[in-house]
Amino acid sequence: MKRTHGEHLSRATAEKAQEQRISASPETGLATANVAIGGNGSSHIDWTVLDPANSRKYHNVESSIYILPEEEFEQRRLLLQNRILAMAFEGHILAPEIRQSPEQARVILDVGCANGIWLESDITLNPSEFGTVCRAKIVAGDVTKTLPYDDNTFDYVHQRALSLGIPKDKWPHVIAELVRVTKPGGWIELVEASVKSRDFGGETTKLFSDKMEMALRARGVDTDLAKTLPIYVSTCPGVENIGQTTVQIPIGWGGQIGDLCAYDTELALISGGDFFKKYLGISENEFHEKVSIAVREWTETKAYGEFIAIWAQKKHVLDD
């Protein structure tokens, strides 16, 4: 009998995904919001999707190197990932000045917004942080080329989890684009995972990790952003007050966050099933068996995932 995604999962569902869906490519979706500070806790987002008919399984952008699909299954996983990262970093907003004085962030850009969960979390789930939303929308753009916004437009620019979609040689340009559309005195913030292979001690887990790193590097992906992202940001002209933090999130151990992360990692493997079956040269049944083995290994070997967050302020007066 053919297995469905639900039948394969070795863990109970960690949380119910929200019903609202926004179809946008993690590589090209851009969510913006104008935020009116004030109000007493009520908030609402009126999302506008420019191309809601997008039903392709994978990105239809010719130059895309992103390996994960756009299907509902993957979009629901991103909801869980959002929760895990909020737990690990103790919040969705990481730039200290914005975190302490959120009223500064009246116009916000979320680059690579996927289903819009980050912006929705900050505004809807934590209304005291941003007040009431008066307008929010999703537009199409390509941060590896030119964002469809004028210079000095946003107070706060956020980008997360685009490591699989941005070629290594494009990162300096990407950072420069984020800075360009940020107002003088505004902030950029990036959160990325390091996909560099690490030896967890589990043979099957290491097989997945090694093959993934090898294939991603062949596609031009920077697999060690935990080390290189600070370099990209610090060498970008026009920024100052750079800060960063790194978290190691347990997978399959360490309490609730470890359980959630194991579930998320399992879902990520399943989302990337076509990719792994191709590069490992295995059948669907063999793939599912290896995923089950890997899930057990994470707890036994105390596996972890590593994420880096880095933020920087655009200079009020740019150097000549």
225-259 pLDDT, tens digit per residue, is 888 999 999 999 999 999 999 999 999 999 999 99
Percent over 70 (pLDDT), the chain: 70
Region of poorest pLDDT, from 29-33, 108-112, 155-159: 29-33
Residue partners of 294: CB distance under 8 A and separation at least 6: 202, 204, 205, 208, 266, 269
Q: Exposed (0-12), middle (13-18) or buried (19+): which is 127, by Cβ within 10 Å?
A: middle
Q: Which residue has the higher pLDDT, 114 or 151?
A: 151
Question: Looking at residues 13-19, what average pLDDT do you find?
Answer: 26
Cβ of 302: how many Cβ atoms within 10 Å?
Answer: 15
Question: Looking at residues 20-41, what average pLDDT do you find?
Answer: 38
**What is the model's pLDDT at position 28?**
46
**What is the model's pLDDT at position 275?**
83
Q: Which residue has the higher pLDDT, 17 or 177?
A: 177
**What is the model's pLDDT at position 195?**
77
Q: 239-250 and 304-314: which strand pairing?
A: antiparallel
Residue partners of 215: CB distance under 8 A and separation at least 6: 275, 279
Q: Which residue has the higher pLDDT, 116 or 124?
A: 116
Question: Looking at residues 66-76, what average pLDDT do you find?
Answer: 67
Q: Which residue has the higher pLDDT, 41 or 230?
A: 230
Question: Looking at residues 148-157, what average pLDDT do you find?
Answer: 95
Question: Looking at residues 308-312, what average pLDDT do you find?
Answer: 97
Q: Which residue has the higher pLDDT, 119 or 199?
A: 119
**What is the model's pLDDT at position 69?**
58
Inter-residue contact 224 to 194 (CB < 8 Å): yes
Question: Looking at residues 138-148, what average pLDDT do you find?
Answer: 88
For the cut 90, the answer to whether the pLDDT of residue 40 exceeds it is no
Question: Looking at residues 135-154, what average pLDDT do you find?
Answer: 88
Residues in the chain: 320
pLDDT tier at 66, thresholds 50, 70, 90: low
Percent over 90 (pLDDT), the chain: 45
Q: In angstroms, how far is the first alpha carbon of the chain from the final one? A: 67
Mean pLDDT score of the chain: 77
pLDDT tier at 131, thresholds 50, 70, 90: very low
DSSP structure string for the chain: -PPPHHHH-SS--SSPPPS------TTTEEEEEEEE--SSS-------BS-TT---SS---TT----S--SHHHHHHHHHHHHHHHHHHTSS--SHHHHH-GGG-SEEEEET-TTSHHHHIIIII-HHHH-EEEEEEEEE--TTS--SS-TT-EEEEEEES-TTTSBGGGHHHHHHHHHHTEEEEEEEEEEEE-------S-HHHHHHHHHHHHHHHHTTB-S-HHHHHHHHHHTSTTEEEEEEEEEEEESS-SSHHHHHHHHHHHHHHHHTHHHHHHHHT--HHHHHHHHHHHHHHHHHHT-EEEEEEEEEEEPSS---
Q: Which residue has the higher pLDDT, 27 or 105?
A: 105
pLDDT tier at 75, thresholds 50, 70, 90: confident
The sign one gets for the Cα dihedral 89, 90, 93, 96 is negative
Q: What is Dmax (Cα atoms) for the chain?
A: 67
Cβ of 60: how many Cβ atoms within 10 Å?
Answer: 10
pLDDT tier at 134, thresholds 50, 70, 90: very low
Residue with tokens 């967050």: 309
**What is the model's pLDDT at position 29?**
57
**What is the model's pLDDT at position 115?**
75
Residue whose C-alpha is closest to residue 202's, from 305, 277, 293: 293
What six digits make up the tokens of 232? 């990209």
Residue whose C-alpha is closest to residue 95's, from 163, 156, 150: 156
pLDDT tier at 27, thresholds 50, 70, 90: very low
